[in-house]
Amino acid sequence: MKLLAVCIGAVRPTPGRKAAKTGIFKEPVDHPVLVDSEGLAGDRIVDRKHHGGPDQAVYLEGSIDLDWWKTELDMELPFGTFGENLVVGGLDNRQVAVGDRFEIGEILLEVTSARMPCATFSARMDDRMFVKRYTRAARPGAYARVIREGSIRAGDHVQHIPFGGERITMPELMRTNGMTLEGAELARYLAAPIHHKLRAFLTR
């Protein structure tokens, strides 16, 4: 696999929402970017309550899913349109699971959670129904924590290392979002390196 794009964003107004700001508008860069435990250097995150942090430091999208969306929406989707930091060539989001690791250039990432669409995403796409469309498609991108810091750039080799335990895929995480889990299903989730907020929710 190959890293097709590294994208960072500046703070911009949120379309249709007075005084609201967002960092969802991301654009690819052609120079090396340092990645540490908080994410990509130069990438601005506005809503720290719901975005960013060590367990949600980097957002990945697979090129297979972005190509699917191009056909679904009948429009071009320049890298960064979905607010993603990294675009991985040949990756299908539906095959990614919690605990999967991605070695890219100098860095090592570990998947913690699925991307859940929000009103800001709908505003970015200029489609009030986009949250429902993205959820119904069940092809969410993945958030990851940084296990090993370093520098990356577009063109770097990507190695996908599957999680060794029971797999909880991104579509499954989306389907069970907000649900109370019990028994073997709960144990399976807690045995995986899930996002700390999801772990707290499931054990509340």
User: Could you give the domains of the chain?
Assistant: 2-176 (2.40.33.20)
Q: What is the Cβ-side half-sphere exposure of residue 95, based on CA atoms within 13 angstroms?
A: 11
Residue carrying structure tokens 């998947």: 111
What is the CB-side half-sphere exposure of residue 202 using CA atoms within 13 A? 21
pLDDT of 3-48, one tens digit each? Answer: 999 999 988 888 877 778 898 999 999 999 999 999 999 998 877 7
Return d(Cα 152, Cα 24) in angstroms, integer. Answer: 20
Query: Considering only 15-29, 86-100, 144-158, which range has the smallest mean pLDDT?
Result: 15-29
Tell me the residue type at 194: I
Which amino acid type is present at position 75? M
Mean pLDDT score of the chain: 95
89 three-state secondary structure: strand
Mean pLDDT confidence for 182-187 = 96
Share of the chain above pLDDT 70, in %: 100
Q: Burial letters for 182-194: b for 16+ Cβ neighbours within 10 Å, e otherwise?
A: eeeeeeebeebbb
Tens of pLDDT, residue by residue over 99-116, are 999 999 999 999 999 999
